[in-house]
Amino acid sequence: MFDAFISMATTSAAGNGRVLSFPPQFLWGTGTSPTQVEGHITNEWTHHVARDGRTCHPACDSYHRYPEDIEWMVRLGVKGYRMGIEWSRLQAGPCGPLNQAELARYLDQLDRLQAAGITPMVVLHHFSNPLWIIGNGGWENPATVGMFVDYVSKLAAALRSRVRLWNTFNEPDTYASCSYLIGEFPPENKWRFLAYRRVIRNMAAAHVRSCRLLRQLGSEQGPVEVGFSKNWTSFVAYHGWSPWDRLIAFLSHEIFNRFVLRSFLGAGARDVATFLGVNYYGRVRYQHTRPLIPTFGFSRARLARMGVICDDMFERDPAGMEGTLLALQTKYKLPIYVTEHGSASTDEAFRERDLTENLSALHRAMQRGVEVRGFFYWSLLDNFEWQFGYAKKFGLVAVDFTDPRLPRTMKPMGRFYGQICRDNAVGR
């Protein structure tokens, strides 16, 4: 089965270039998260003012406009949707009953996706929590683990007829580091390494228990697949001769990559997940102990002169996609979904090149034996990009945030990605 799967990632010649074909069952999708698109939300982000002076309300108002968003997905031609379900909407207190009106809205969303032939991957935690969890110490408090598992057990029972692809935690490393190390997410704490450790450990414990539970419960849609999404960033010294930059790169790798993977996939946790989700954007290079990325105040032009090619957020490193996928599968022996990749820019030609290069690298990894089951482009819509507000344009579909009606329009990038999804190939 595995060999049959990978041998179907094939290359053939066409015109001036090559066509990279993907296996017939490859899941082409896109994704969003509740706080970034829904609006009308009450969690720790509600009053958090981003760098552009705005908050996560009303974001894209997908809380009301999800039927329209599904129509955009149909127009794109995607077959998968990585969507979040917002815990704070569903439980008003520890171990309470699920709010039936909010549940009904999510059920309707799932039914409409099914009617459109789009498979949901449901994410249970994406950087946000109910306020009663935050008031109780958040993920620093081990009691949160049991409360989360209680929520998951109730939600999974309610959704087992509709969902078989589950994702427990999106980027626990980003959540814990931005909240407790660099102070960019609420509660904006800085350099609290022990808190970071506790949060990751507690999330990993909740992940393990949730995976077991979801697999035991099963799904009417078929075999349950469950995993979590690891943000994979490589950390490198810009000048190999700089001992400080090498030290920082080494420590970053230890803290953000190795420690998190050990906690989620180490001894005792190894067999509970059925897949590994990889969010891959690129890499971070350090010079004079500072990360060479636009969000640390460097201009893209200056970085480009240094050979550091970036979108509005990160350094791009398509070649790294191949090596990362290969290394992760060799080590953890789990099938992989690329649960996020995308770029933030208003330069659509740049984004198209970037996607082609990254998908070519992904395809090479598959030809070298990595079982990649699907790819979710981040993101369906321009949306609320956490600490940066609405300035970062990741969408396949644009949202005009200056117009209160929040009109959507297809971007060239949407047409480009849609063609790849429909062809099941890059470069046709």
Q: Binding residues for ligand BGC, per CB under 6 A?
A: 33, 36, 170-171, 174, 231, 279, 313, 340, 378, 385
Place of tokens 């149909």: 74
Which residue bears the tokens 């420590």? Answer: 251
Q: What is the secondary structure of 336-400 as a DSSP string?
A: EEEEEE----S-HHHHHHHHHHHHHHHHHHHHTT--EEEEEEE-SB----GGGTT-----SEEE-
Task: In angstroms, give the least distance from the CB of 87 to ligand BGC.
Answer: 16
Least distance in angstroms from the C-beta of 220 to ligand BGC: 29
Question: Which among 5, 9, 4 is positioned nearest to 363, based on CA atoms?
Answer: 9
The smaller minimum CB distance to ligand BGC, of residues 72 and 378, is found at 378
Cβ 381 vs Cβ 397: under 8 Å: yes
Closest distance of CB 60 from ligand BGC, Å: 13
Quote the CA–CA distance of 36 and 45 in Å, as a whole number.
Answer: 10
Looking at the Cβ atoms of 162 and 316, the one nearer to ligand BGC is 316
- Neighbour-count burial for 274-293, b at 16+ CB within 10 Å, e otherwise: bbbbbbbbbbbbbbeeebbb
CA angle 132, 134, 139 (to 5 degrees): 120
Q: From residue 268, give the alpha-carbon distance in Å to each of 71, 130, 180, 209, 265.
A: 42, 29, 26, 11, 8
Q: CB-based contacts of 16: which residues, under 8 Å, 6+ apart?
A: none
Spatial separation of the C-alpha atoms in residues 73 and 289, rounded to whole Å: 42
What the block records as the tokens of 296 is: 């640390």
User: Based on CB atoms, which residue is closest to ligand BGC, 124 or 237?
Assistant: 124
Q: Which is nearer to ligand BGC, 205 or 313 (CB)?
A: 313
Query: Smallest distance, Å, CB 373 to ligand BGC?
Result: 19
Q: Indicate the residue among 174 and 219 with the shorter CB distance to ligand BGC.
A: 174
For the chain, give the longest Cα–Cα distance.
61
9/413 with CB nearer ligand BGC: 413
Q: Helices 62-76 & 412-423, crossing angle to 10 degrees?
A: 60
The two tokens of residue 115 are: 């009617």
Q: Which is nearer to ligand BGC, 123 or 226 (CB)?
A: 123
Distance CA 333, CA 321 (A): 17
Strands 372-378, 27-31: pairing kind? parallel
Residue closer to ligand BGC, measured from CB, 202 or 229: 229
**Euclidean distance between CA atoms 318 and 242, whole angstroms:** 25
Q: How far is the CB of 19 from ligand BGC (least distance, A)?
A: 29
Least distance (Å) between residue 341 CB and ligand BGC: 10
Q: Least distance from C-beta 427 to ligand BGC, angstroms? A: 26
Q: Return the closest-CA partner of residue 340 out of 294, 403, 277.
A: 277
Nearer residue to ligand BGC within complex by CB, 144 or 231 = 231
Residue (286 or 386) nearer to ligand BGC, CB: 386
Q: Which is nearer to ligand BGC, 60 or 425 (CB)?
A: 60
| Cα–Cα dist 207/226, whole Å | 10
CA pair distance 159, 106, nearest whole angstrom: 9
